[in-house]
């Protein structure tokens, strides 16, 4: 966790900054040996070999063995879930109803939460966070930078996706509704039909309904529906619903994705894959650490996530999850892509983040070795051109 000094020190504003790396992974082309990233006013100004990019006078300089884009956690609940694991810092799920798409993540997001600082100091600069997969429709998600003292200063997209869950995660407990998969899908289908009728009603005196208004954005393809599904037949159900209602679907979890590879590939639906080291059991009994490599080989767009944890410390670290995927067939380049530009594309933020290219946000992670090696440390983190961490983690 963060040191007291790190909590007290503000981010170091550097209008002009040069980052020099033994290897610079831009994720926009081949890695650059002895590379330089120039940063000016929060944006990347220039990237290239040191032999071609001169560091101008007056630029502050950071040095590292390896430089990467800031990492992107494609699915997490940090900022809503807290590391204390106490009722007062657990905001990731509201259990009073099965379907609550109107719940906004930004209204519960705490940018000062310790877990946000914890992952930032390991190189994670952007998170897709929000309500967790613990209800049929649990609420909305948001995309934020891991900096700022208010949600408004951290946020990139206040309304990113609507989170839903099929299978066990979407069923209620204690004999409440829905109690079966068929009932869950029937409830979701009925609500989508209501939302379609609500959107078609253009009368000026139409009462406002936040729930149907949110689902109408899903039906108009303004917001993707992020469906958590692990079993093969739940994945197929999600694909079937997307065809029926023509909404943008993003799959979350997908433990048995290898069993439906052909269907996934033909659908073109991207996958935010379960944490590589997620424990097996129940719906995740058939997951594999090689699933990321399988998706990559099949040409299916995917990203790696930290996901949701029901126990302390309440979050995984997407850097470590990607490292395990790299060691299980995905390789270094593929694993880094899954937590940088690959994740950015799925989240629709690749014009701003995910690679080191001129004009993009200056979000950079610096390491003293291969980021996926156990003994490597993150030595500095830059977000929007500001040095937000100098702790060696």
Same domain (yes/no): 176, 293: yes
Same domain (yes/no): 241, 278: yes
CB 162 within 8 A of CB 130: no
Closest by alpha carbon to 109, among 91, 85, 87, 127?
91
Same domain (yes/no): 16, 153: no
- Give dist(CA 389, CA 113) in Å, integer: 16
Residue 243 has a pLDDT of 98
Residue 89 structure tokens: 């810092």
Same domain (yes/no): 129, 27: no
Residue 3 has a pLDDT of 47
CB under 8 Å to 380, separation ≥6 — which residues?
62, 64, 365, 366, 387, 389, 390
CATH number at residue 198: 3.20.20.140
Residue 294 has a pLDDT of 98
Same domain (yes/no): 226, 239: yes
Residue 277 structure tokens: 């080291």
CB under 8 Å to 374, separation ≥6 — which residues?
323
Same domain (yes/no): 11, 43: yes
Distances (CA, A) of 237 to 103, 229, 256, 354, 368: 24, 9, 13, 31, 45
Closest by alpha carbon to 125, among 325, 284, 319, 277?
319
CB under 8 Å to 267, separation ≥6 — which residues?
239, 242, 249
What is the H or E stretch that residue 139 is in? strand 137-145
Same domain (yes/no): 320, 208: yes
- Total of domains in the chain: 2
Same domain (yes/no): 321, 201: yes
Same domain (yes/no): 155, 53: no
Host domain of residue 41: 4-69+354-389
Residue 175 has a pLDDT of 76
- Give dist(CA 118, CA 124) in Å, integer: 9
Cβ-in-10-Å burial (0-12, 13-18, 19+) of 181 comes to middle
CATH number at residue 14: 2.30.40.10
Residue 12 has a pLDDT of 61
Same domain (yes/no): 56, 89: no
- Give dist(CA 38, CA 60) in Å, integer: 10
Same domain (yes/no): 79, 60: no
The tens place of each residue's pLDDT in the chain, 393 residues long, gives 444 444 444 456 668 999 999 999 999 999 999 999 999 999 999 999 999 999 999 999 999 999 999 999 999 999 999 999 999 999 999 999 999 999 999 999 999 999 999 999 999 999 999 999 999 999 999 999 999 999 999 999 999 999 999 999 999 887 789 999 999 999 999 999 999 999 999 999 999 999 999 999 999 999 999 999 999 999 999 999 999 999 999 999 999 999 999 999 999 999 999 999 999 999 999 999 999 999 999 999 999 999 998 888 899 999 999 999 999 999 999 999 999 999 999 999 999 999 999 999 999 999 999 999 999 999 999 999 999 999 999
What is the H or E stretch that residue 267 is in? helix 261-267
The model carries a pTM of: 0.95
Same domain (yes/no): 263, 190: yes
């Amino acid at each position: 966790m963060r040191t007291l000094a790190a909590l007290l020190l503000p981010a170091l504003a550097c209008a002009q900054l040069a980052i020099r790396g033994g290897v610079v992974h831009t994720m926009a082309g081949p890695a650059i040996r002895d590379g330089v990233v120039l940063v000016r006013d929060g944006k990347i100004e220039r990237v290239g070999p040191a032999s071609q990019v001169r560091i101008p006078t007056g630029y502050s300089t950071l040095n590292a063995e390896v430089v990467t884009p800031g990492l992107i956690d494609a699915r997490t609940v940090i900022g809503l879930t807290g590391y204390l694991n106490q009722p007062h810092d657990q905001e990731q799920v509201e259990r009073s109803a099965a379907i609550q798409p109107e719940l906004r993540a930004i209204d519960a997001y705490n940018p000062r939460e310790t877990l946000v600082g914890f992952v930032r100091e390991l190189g994670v600069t952007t998170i897709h966070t929000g309500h967790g997969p613990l209800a049929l429709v649990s609420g909305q998600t948001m995309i934020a930078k891991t900096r700022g003292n208010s949600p408004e200063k951290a946020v990139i997209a206040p309304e990113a996706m609507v989170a839903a869950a099929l299978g066990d995660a979407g069923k209620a407990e204690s004999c409440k509704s829905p109690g079966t998969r068929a009932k869950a899908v029937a409830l979701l289908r009925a609500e989508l039909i209501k939302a379609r009728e609500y959107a078609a009603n253009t009368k000026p005196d139409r009462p406002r309904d936040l729930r149907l208004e949110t689902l109408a954005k899903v039906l108009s393809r303004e917001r993707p529906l992020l469906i958590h599904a692990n079993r093969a037949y739940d994945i197929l159900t999600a694909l079937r619903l997307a065809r029926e209602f023509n909404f943008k679907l993003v799959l979350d979890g997908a433990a048995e994705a290898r069993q439906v590879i052909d269907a996934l590939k033909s659908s073109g639906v991207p996958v935010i894959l379960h944490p590589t080291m997620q424990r097996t059991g129940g719906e995740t009994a058939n997951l594999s650490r090689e699933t990321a490599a399988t998706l990559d080989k099949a040409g299916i767009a995917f990203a790696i996530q930290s996901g949701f944890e029901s126990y302390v410390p309440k979050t995984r670290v997407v850097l470590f999850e990607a490292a395990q995927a790299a060691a299980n067939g995905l390789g270094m380049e593929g694993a880094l892509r899954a937590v940088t530009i690959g994740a950015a594309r799925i989240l629709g933020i690749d014009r701003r983040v995910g690679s080191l290219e001129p004009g993009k946000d200056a979000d950079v992670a610096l390491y003293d070795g291969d980021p996926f090696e156990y003994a490597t440390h993150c030595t500095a983190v830059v977000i929007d051109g500001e040095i937000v961490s100098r702790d060696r983690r």
